[in-house]
Chains A and B, each alone.
Chain A
């Protein structure tokens, strides 16, 4: 199977430029610093008068992992839109779009290559963070499934944002406009959905519908990354807090089937699982729409008129 020429070119350009190297280095330094702070804080707060017990150690490991995934999500939300928003707008600015359009590449190939290049960079970020994940695993409180699902949640969030940023890039004529639009939409998804959810809650007597939060990448990641151990260990990580919103909402009204009453305390509740599936489907739809939209914007005037 042939590699997409656009992906091939993008990768060559990215590895040669200094920007990617600087970004990855900065990312690792900051992530490492945050991780060490979290580890220190968790160890201090976890140790009682009798020192760290086995469950305390497991709680520290799990808590560190949750915070690690949380920080990775934040970095991904900053880096992916910024790096992807120049995908199409940059081609327009450099006057390289027309020569590409008169080749045998179809618009969908061009968009796919751009998204794949962003995902490749995202995978680099994830792989670079693996040593930190392995430290969490070594401390304990984390299963392989937990670790994989957490990293998959980061990857999925990055994929969605890469698709959205590519769509923004296809709309805007200038890279700066595309970047602003991509960050604005990322903010809308992450903070706007919480605001709408909060406003909906303040208007009605019952709990606001959690379905609003299916568009929130953080909520999606927290649901996807919710392993068995987080519930067993009763930790206070950032993602656990978000999962609690779904579980609490599941008890008050319903998102999918609400059978969490009996088993929610020891396994990921059905509410969380249903939320994870529903949110993934919603975000996947948003991503596919963004890709489709970018493809339509990349068609030549002749293809659009046809």
Chain B
């Protein structure tokens, strides 16, 4: 994983002559100083990212941070202004068809057709990926089973709940059996039950060997679903790695929360368990105070995110 320090704003222009790195066959997604510029506006600035095959990578950032721009470049919808990118071993700039064949993309808004059955919806996209006609029915059945919509095969798409539509959209993104799955805000607008179902589904897909990229605003959920995350703001990747590595990198602070018998409370920073134990002993033995609660508080990804980002958009 590439770790990028918190930048001074505004974002610096990309290095124009950065040499492209060697493509790593162990990586599903690899970018180097990837930049997307609209006039003087940097939608994406010098993003360097490495996502190993089979990983579930979460991209966090406020609106306008550059998450959708990143995903659009990876899904062949946008061309980068500069930089180097490989998805499933292919260049989305020059090998669009090869990338599309290996990528499943689910945009943030699930569009559906009027007067189309669930099975027909998936059939259309399967045929659009040139799946042989004789295999389509079987494929549709398997996908619906995977997303637990088998009973809805002959239902109208528009009759599905939002959660079901989201699962159907996920099934659509899987019709070409992609190596890399790009999910833009998949949990947006879902109720808690649908979110849990989606999380289980993503875990299942990871077990199937898919590399999954997810963007979300719901940080705790992303933390649960992803084994690696990246924090973005103003087109820059501020940090990238496992949640634990990011917490360590961003200087997450351990504290103990103490509640005394007389009702007073205090949060005290500690370096490690030994210091916490010494603190408790000192309070009880030396000061003779009764403690009713003594527990550790650790910065979570959300608090780190709030600290390193300032909610700025371009």
* Residues of A in contact with B (beta carbons under 8 Å apart): 2, 5-6, 8-9, 12-14, 16-17, 91, 94-105, 300-303, 305-306
| Contact partners of B100 in chain A: CB under 8 A | 102-104
Identify 20 residue pairs between A and B in the complex whose beta-carbon atoms are under 8 Å apart, listed by A's number: A5-B124, A5-B127, A8-B127, A9-B113, A9-B120, A12-B116, A12-B120, A13-B116, A16-B116, A95-B111, A96-B113, A99-B172, A100-B128, A102-B100, A102-B105, A103-B129, A105-B128, A302-B96, A305-B79, A306-B79
Report the separation of the CA atoms of residues A6 and B120 in the bound assembly, to the nearest whole angstrom: 12
CB pair A300 B115 closer than 8 Å: no
B73 partner residues in chain A, CB cutoff 8 A: 302
Are A104 and B129 CB-contacts (below 8 A) given A9-B120, A17-B115, A94-B112?
A: yes
Residues of B within 8 A of A104 (CB): 97, 100-101, 128-130
Contact A5 B128 (CB under 8 A): yes
The majority secondary structure among interface residues of chain A is helix
A143→B267 CA distance, assembly (Å):
99
Contact count A vs B, C-beta below 8 Å: 86
Q: Interface digits, B98-139 against A, CB 8 Å rule (1 contact, 0 not)?
A: 001101011101111111100010001101111001000000
Q: How far is the CB of B245 from chain A (nearest CB, A)?
A: 32
At the interface, yes or no: B78 with Cβ under 8 Å from chain A?
yes
Binary per-residue interface labels of chain B (7-19) against chain A in the complex, 1 for a CB within 8 Å, 0 otherwise: 0000000000000
**How large, as a class, is the contact surface on chain B?**
35 or more
Whether the Cβ atoms of A102 and B103 lie closer than 8 Å is: yes
A103 touches B77 (CB 8 A): no
> Most chain-B Cβ atoms within 10 A of its Cβ — which of A6, A96, A302, A303?
A302
How far is A102 from B76 in the complex, measured between Cα atoms in Å? 7
Residue numbers in B under 8 Å from A5 (CB-CB): 124, 127-128
B92 smallest CB distance to A (angstroms): 8
Given contacts A2-B133, A100-B128, contact A16 B110 (CB under 8 A): no
Q: What are the interface flags for B27-70 relative to A under an 8 Å C-beta threshold, 1 for contact and 0 otherwise?
A: 00000000000000000000000000000000000000000000
Q: Are A301's CB and B112's CB within 8 A?
A: no
List, in ascending order, chain B residues with CB within 8 A of A17's CB. 114-115
The 4 A-B pairs of least Cβ separation, nearest first, read: A95-B111, A96-B111, A103-B128, A5-B127
Interface centre among A94, A97, A102, A306 (most CB of B within 10 A): A102
Query: B112 contacts A102, CB within 8 Å?
Result: no
Are A300 and B77 interface neighbours, CB within 8 A? yes
Q: Which of B197-220 contact A (CB under 8 A)?
A: none
B75 within 8 A of A: yes
Q: Contact at A96–B78, with CB atoms within 8 Å?
A: no
CB-CB under 8 A from A302, the residues of chain B are 73, 76-79, 92-93, 96
A2 contacts across to B, CB distance below 8 A = 127, 133
Cα-based distance from A95 to B169 in the complex (angstroms): 12
User: CA separation between A305 and B79, bound complex, in Å?
Assistant: 7
The residue in A6, A8, A9 that gathers the most chain B C-beta atoms within 10 A of its C-beta is A9
Quote the shortest CB–CB distance from B273 to chain A (angstroms). 50
Chain B, residue nearest A105 (CB): B128
What CA separation (Å) do A302 and B116 show in the bound complex?
30
Q: Using Cβ atoms and an 8 Å threshold, which residues of chain A touch B130?
A: 104
Given A95-B109, A95-B111, A96-B111, is A9 in contact with B124 using a C-beta cutoff of 8 Å?
Answer: yes
Q: Evaluate contact between B107 and A95: CB separation under 8 angstroms.
A: yes
**Given the complex of chains A and B, what is the CA–CA distance between A240 and B13 in angstroms?**
70
Question: How many Å lie between the Cα of A97 and that of B106 in the bound state?
Answer: 12
Please indicate the chain B residues that have their CB under 8 angstroms from the CB of A16 in the complex: 115-116
Provide the residues of chain B in CB contact with A95, threshold 8 Å: 107, 109-111
Interface members, chain B 161-175 (any A CB < 8 Å): 169, 172
Bound CA–CA A13/B115 (angstroms):
5
**Nearest opposing residue in chain B for A95, CB measure:** B111
* A17 CB, min distance to chain B CBs, angstroms: 5
Distance in angstroms between the alpha carbons of A103 and B100 in the assembled complex: 6
Q: Chain B nearest CB: distance from A33 CB in Å? A: 30
Q: Which residue of B lies closest to A5 (CB)?
A: B127
**14 further interface pairs, Cβ-Cβ under 8 Å (given A14-B115, A302-B73):** A2-B127, A5-B128, A9-B113, A12-B115, A16-B115, A94-B111, A94-B113, A98-B77, A99-B106, A105-B128, A300-B76, A302-B96, A303-B96, A306-B79
Closest beta carbon of chain B to A109's beta carbon, Å: 8
